[in-house]
């Protein structure tokens, strides 16, 4: 059984004390591949250093996180673009719109998302979208920009069935399913039941969003197994089938092997 954590921030300082143990536990749990979305220009170096330690297993992505879009976002995006031009990357992200924490730079977040969508097309890389209190804004932009070249994932999807179906209608987008699936009363289990497995990716978003029974604690990629087991239960299929299909989906989207 091979699992793929399509969204994990293992380079963050939360893992400074025991990072190699965390990655060993992930391998032990069957998590063979991990995709690392970038956050801002300060996280590029630690992310690349970590990926270099685990070639063939850890893969970096490049983008600017929406909560890090401020008045200087154009300068920051230029630096991100320089990295894109000088490296091997597996996705554009994470990008998106977050109106939960702060709406001050809502307009700038939209502009930054549109720029990163252009890059996804230009560099032929999947887009990793972070959406928080912002489905309307993001759908408006994807409606406007979607074409055959655009692929990606709505990371940590927690929306309704109607929102899930709208995402699938775009054609080349997946739903990223994380620890929220295991939360009581999230309602995500009912949505996930009706979405085809070949449109889903698994992710932890470590160190955030730990699944039950670790809710509120630091998350790590080994806990992807708990999410896979929950999805298997929801869909009433073997966990091996969940692992194999979601890994195949991840390979198809991110082309890491």
Cα separation, 228 vs 233, in Å, equals 9
What is the nearest approach in angstroms of Ni ion to the Cβ of residue 240?
27
Nearest to 152 by CA among 229, 63, 20, 216: 63
What DSSP character marks residue 127? E
Residue 135 CA: distances (Å) to CA of 96, 98, 108: 10, 10, 16
Query: Of the two residues 96 and 235, which places its CB atom closer to Ni ion in the complex?
Result: 96
What DSSP character marks residue 181? G
What is the nearest approach in angstroms of Ni ion to the Cβ of residue 156?
7
Cα separation, 148 vs 171, in Å, equals 8
Residues 191-230 that bind Ni ion (CB under 5 A): 205
What is the nearest approach in angstroms of Ni ion to the Cβ of residue 5?
11
Cα separation, 181 vs 58, in Å, equals 24
Residues 43-82 that bind Ni ion (CB under 5 A): none
Query: Of the two residues 205 and 220, which places its CB atom closer to Ni ion in the complex?
Result: 205
What is the nearest approach in angstroms of Ni ion to the Cβ of residue 109?
15
Place of tokens 């380079």: 11
Phi, psi of 109 (to 5 degrees): -60, -40
Query: Of the two residues 98 and 189, which places its CB atom closer to Ni ion in the complex?
Result: 98
Query: Of the two residues 98 and 205, which places its CB atom closer to Ni ion in the complex?
Result: 205
- DSSP secondary structure string, 77-107? HHHHHHHHHTS--S-EEEEEEE-SS--TTHH
How many residues bind Ni ion (CB under 5 A)? The answer is: 1
Query: Of the two residues 7 and 230, which places its CB atom closer to Ni ion in the complex?
Result: 7
Query: Of the two residues 47 and 231, which places its CB atom closer to Ni ion in the complex?
Result: 47
- Exposed/middle/buried for 72, CB within 10 Å: 0-12, 13-18, 19+? exposed
Query: Of the two residues 94 and 110, which places its CB atom closer to Ni ion in the complex?
Result: 94
What are the start-end ranges of the E strands in 99-250?
Answer: 127-132, 152-155, 173-177, 200-202
What is the nearest approach in angstroms of Ni ion to the Cβ of residue 37?
5
* Binding-residue pattern over the window 162 to 181 for Ni ion, x denoting contact by CB under 5 A: --------------------
Which spans of this chain sit near Ni ion (rule: CB under 5 A)? 205
């Amino acid at each position: 059984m091979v699992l793929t954590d399509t969204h994990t921030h293992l380079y963050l300082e939360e893992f400074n004390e025991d990072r190699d143990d965390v990655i060993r536990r992930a391998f032990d749990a069957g998590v063979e591949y991990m995709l690392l979305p970038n956050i801002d220009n300060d996280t590029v170096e630690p992310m690349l250093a970590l990926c270099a330690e685990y070639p063939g297993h850890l893969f970096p992505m490049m983008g600017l996180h929406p909560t890090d879009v401020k008045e200087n976002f154009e300068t920051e995006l230029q630096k991100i673009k320089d990295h894109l031009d000088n490296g091997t990357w597996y996705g554009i992200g994470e990008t998106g719109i977050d109106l939960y924490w702060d709406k001050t730079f809502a307009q700038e977040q939209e502009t930054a998302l549109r720029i990163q969508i252009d890059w996804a097309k230009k560099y032929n890389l999947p887009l990793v979208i972070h959406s928080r209190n912002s489905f309307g804004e993001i759908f408006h932009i994807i409606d406007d920009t979607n074409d055959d070249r655009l692929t990606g994932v709505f990371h940590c999807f927690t929306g309704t069935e109607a929102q899930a179906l709208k995402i699938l209608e775009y054609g080349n987008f997946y739903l990223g399913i994380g620890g929220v699936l295991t939360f009581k009363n999230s309602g995500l289990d009912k949505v996930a039941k009706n979405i085809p497995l070949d449109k889903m990716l698994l992710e932890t978003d470590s160190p955030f969003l730990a699944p039950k029974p670790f809710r509120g604690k630091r998350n790590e990629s080994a806990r992807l197994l708990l999410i896979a087991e929950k999805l298997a239960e929801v869909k009433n299929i073997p966990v091996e089938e969940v692992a194999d299909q979601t890994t195949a989906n991840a390979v198809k989207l991110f082309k890491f092997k």
